[in-house]
Copies of this chain bind each other. A is one copy, B any other.
Amino acid sequence: MALGGLGEIGMNLTVLECGEDILLIDCGVLFPDLYWLGLDLVVPDFTWLIENKDKIRGLVITHGHEDHIGAIPFLLKKMKIPIVYCSRFAQRLISEKCEEHGISDRFISFDVKAGDRHDLGCFNVEFIHVTHSTLETFALAIQTPHGLIIHSGDFKFDEKPYQGPPSDKKRFKELGKEKPLLLLSDSTNSERCGHSQSESEIHDELNRLIEEAPAAVIVALFASNIHRVHQLMDIAKRTGRKVFLSGRSMEKYVKIAIEENFLPVNLSLLQPIEEIQKYDRKEVMVLSTGSQGEARSSLLRLSKNESRWLKILEKDVVILSSRNIPGNEKAISSLVNQLYRLGATVHYEDMQNVHVSGHAYQSEQLELIKLTKPRFFIPVHGEYRHLVNHAKTATESEIPEREFVMENGAVWEFDGEEARILGDKIPTGRHWVFRDFDGGLEDISIKERRAAARAGVVVVDCLVSKRAVELSRKPLVALSGFLSPEKKNEEIKEEVSLQAEDAFNQWRVDNPDGFTREQSVAIAARKVVRRHFDVKPLVIVNFLNI
């Protein structure tokens, strides 16, 4: 089953259950298109896990990206997880998160390396090295009483990674000889034909752009992409530049990578951003967060010239070495426009070869199927369109006996002989997180925010006599966020007041729909606005006893 990641990019959480044992794989966040609603994050609904918490033997993490680890603190707040198996790098990242949330004591972890095996209940999990856009990424080979299950994690077959060896295809091939029961594989790029580019293939282009840059160079990238950071630092050294880090997560990730010996560079290259003014602009390379145009991110501040340390000037070169995450296009475009306005030269994926994806394309997805020869196939990590297209690739390979396209909550069952999707789903959903609180996206408070944004707010104040049965005067109406002119608004207020008064007086406890008196007044008020504009505002009704 999956509580997340099947039918969406992000929020990955896969669940294996066998007898009395449950194994969890990853626990990530979704980056929502809903920041205008003031939400901090979106995480999976953990209801099913809480109901089954006694069976959970542990959580296995494939790698340290936010869409794989970001929801762990929110899960740990709701329940204990016996142990979390993860790489050293992911362990450090999760630790920091748990510290921020004040729940360090709940995070019990075990560092793993490629090749390690661990038992969790009846499951034996082997960690297999794969290449991806961050450090220490694993695929999983999970021995179960009913056969071998392979989970690709997020992967690509990069034959020339900038750091470390290529994916361990040899191991996949060996596992293929064991007749695996099931392959779960990363679908992110299933719509892209051919083979993804290697991390090394952008080296020449990055090197050329930076070498030719006549002034400061600012590169925006995901802080977790330590291979890319490594590559850029090598280029900085070669082109006589010092490296300055900008953005909280950039500092955090690089610090951890250095402490854990993942950045084999001369550390004198790194200089504190506070001292950037001491250097000639031709000696400067800034590595910055904010490639998605995120609010309050380092690059956005730079684009608005709000940084304390660096002003972007004409002739500076800005490189967005990252992909555009769907939903962020407008924000990124506005960032690029702003950088151009400052006179900078901007390079981005649309125009230059300055980024490669960390996810397998069709031919690599096919290769994994051919190597592992699974009996069954389930595409994971993708929107429905990606899952369908990945399944199509699997079908065309003629290797799996059957492909199953399934979404969050669907239950795939193997009874020892046959596989099928159960009729019933387990409860799943998307939960918003705001500060210390969370809830469902269909909550009344979310609906109230949407209604206010779309159609404004109507407040109806009813002054009620002490006996609580009579209005002591006609309701007072206030409008906010209305787009109509004052005169029209006065007319609406008048009408709402009349209708509200009428609804108040007409209301009886035994009204057929069982509305409260407040609800009846609200319905009457909403009707007035609908009649005028065909929209449904947020209506707030207050009964004030005097």
Contact = CB atoms under 8 A, between A and B. Distances in A.
A462 to B, nearest CB: 10
B439 A483 contact: yes
Contacts of A37: 453-454
B453 A453 contact: yes
A126 to B, nearest CB: 33
A402 interface: no
Contacts of A329: 326-327, 329
Interface in A310-342: 326-327, 329-330, 333, 336-338, 340-341
B542 A483 contact: no
Contact of A38 (B38, B338, B455): B455
Nearest to A339: B385
Interface string A442-455: 01011011101111
Q: Count identical subunits in the complex.
A: 2
Nearest to A438: B483
Interface string A29-49: 000010011110000000000
Nearest to A335: B385
Main secondary structure of the interface of A (DSSP, over half): mixed
Contacts of A283: none
Nearest to A434: B483
Given A191-B350, A445-B482, A484-B437, A340 B388 contact: yes
A483 B437 CA distance: 7
Interface stretch (A101-109, A242-250, A533-541): A533-541
A483 B538 CA distance: 16
A481 B36 CA distance: 13
Nearest to A332: B326
Contact of A384 (B326, B330, B337, B385): B337
Nearest to A435: B533
Nearest to A338: B384
A456 interface: yes
A258 interface: no
A538 B540 CA distance: 13
A448 B480 contact: yes
Interface string A415-453: 000000000000000001011010100010110111011
A7 interface: yes
A457 B454 contact: no
Contacts of A476: 542, 544
A478 interface: yes
Interface in A358-397: 383-385, 388-389
A459 interface: yes
A538 B484 contact: no
A463 interface: yes
Nearest to A543: B476
A481 B33 CA distance: 18
A457 B37 CA distance: 12
Contacts of A459: 459, 478, 540, 542
A453 to B, nearest CB: 4
A326 B379 CA distance: 28
A266 to B, nearest CB: 36
Interface of A: 7, 33, 36-39, 191, 326-327, 329-330, 333, 336-338, 340-341, 346, 350-351, 383-385, 388-389, 432, 434-435, 437, 439, 443, 445-446, 448-450, 452-457, 459, 461, 463, 472, 476, 478, 480-485, 488, 533, 535, 538, 540, 542, 544, 546
13 contacts: A37-B453, A38-B454, A191-B350, A336-B385, A340-B385, A434-B483, A434-B484, A452-B452, A452-B481, A457-B480, A457-B538, A457-B540, A478-B540
